[in-house]
Amino acid sequence: MLIDGVATRTVRADPAAGLIEVLDQTALPHQVRWVVVDTLAAAAHAITTMQVRGAPLIGATAAYGMAVAAGRDASDAGLHAAAATLAATRPTAVNLSWALHRMLGRLLAEPLPDRAIWAWREADAIAEHDVAASTAIGAHGEPLLRRLRPPAGRPASVLTHCNAGWLATVDRGTALAPVYAATDAGLELHVWVSETRPRNQGLLTAWELDQQGVPCTVIADNACGELIRSGQVDAVLVGADRIAANGDVANKIGTYLKALACVDAGIPCYVLAPASTIDIGSLTGAAIPIEERDGDELRVVHGLDAAGEASSVRQLAAEVPVYNPAFDVTPARLITAIVTEHGVAPATTDGVSRLMRGPA
């Protein structure tokens, strides 16, 4: 997608130098900054600190982290240790373990001297797979947007939560992929962007939509219910960090409330994610590990000061107790449909299994 009119991906690989560069999402939306990842520790750090974030991009970055690590130690023990380090970075997005299993499976089958080269090829293949999946999600989701019937006088208006746009993937996005497909094809759309406290990924969403020229409006998380109830939203589009076998979906904290409001208002709630987000090992959402993050994410607010310099403000004393779950589980019964690169299906055991396999 575009940054200042230039086509850009969130990760750039340089196999000859044994490194990648990632777009630092902790600096956005204020600054476009790239971070060099040239060690296993730097790859783990990038994921843990959310310089890269979003389930598909976490998976792709972990794959490249394995390639970086394989350049130093491609032995069986070295690869297993690298995978364990990366797997420990964040618990909920299953794309992480999906990518690590794929890398391990590919590399352990190769003779030791060839593994470093294969590691870069396989990581590139995972990144390309992600772009293709996002593009296909856009194609499958676009008709759902064309079907919306907004009241006369305004364009179709969708609401999204967190950031499931191109910043959460290698390119194109998941929940926003149909928005880009539809607007590229000339459909007029407006996007309500929920702020997504405490990490404010909604600000990333507003930045990337603005960069692509898609009209959007940021709203406080607490405004979503009222907007949905009062008919100002035609559909909710969200991503996923893990989809259980029965169609329950773990996504950014706050998704559940939006899905509840959709049911009450009678509007669709669509979940869009690559098949690598499906975890059939989690039979229901109850089996999905939910990441709990540092309380300082609520206690301390980050932004720019009056001089335009990066700055932090403490809004709660360090000793104030805080509970900060990063994700919630939306039960399958509240989800209108799930979209993957393989198509659109109901959030049921049968639907999920079709979305995982693709056409027979």
Contacting positions for ligand MRU (CB under 6 A): 53-56, 162-164, 168, 174, 201, 238-241, 251-252, 326
3-state DSSP assignment of residue 286: helix
| Nearest distance, CB of residue 74 and ligand MRU, angstroms | 29
Smallest distance from the beta carbon of 239 to ligand MRU, in angstroms?
3
Q: Looking at 234, 241, 279, 328, which residue is catalytic? A: 241
Q: Phi and psi (nearest 5°) for 57?
A: -70, -35
Least distance CB 77 / ligand MRU (angstroms): 30
Which one, 48 or 75, has the nearer CB to ligand MRU? 48
Rg of the chain on CA atoms, in Å: 20
Minimum CB distance to ligand MRU smaller for 15 or for 54? 54
Give the nearer residue to ligand MRU in terms of CB position, either 15 or 59: 59
With b for 16 or more beta-carbon neighbours within 10 A and e for fewer, the 181-203 pattern comes to: bbbeeebebbbbbbbbbbbbbbb
Whether 210 is catalytic? no
Considering the complex, what minimum distance in angstroms separates the CB of residue 105 from ligand MRU?
A: 24
CB of 95 closer than 8 Å to CB of 55:
yes
Nearer to ligand MRU, 56 or 71 (CB): 56
Could you tell me the smallest distance in angstroms from the CB atom of residue 306 to ligand MRU? 28
Asked if 115 contacts 107 with a C-beta cutoff of 8 angstroms, the reply is yes
Which DSSP letter does residue 251 get? E
Task: Report the alpha-carbon angle 176-88-129, nearest 5.
Answer: 40
Evaluate the CA torsion angle 135, 106, 62, 354 in order and state its sign.
positive
Return the exposure string of 225-248: e unless at least 16 CB atoms fall within 10 Å of the residue's CB, then b. eebbeeebbbbbbbbbbbbbbbbb
Q: Closer to ligand MRU at the Cβ: 12 or 293? A: 293
Active-site amino acid positions: 241
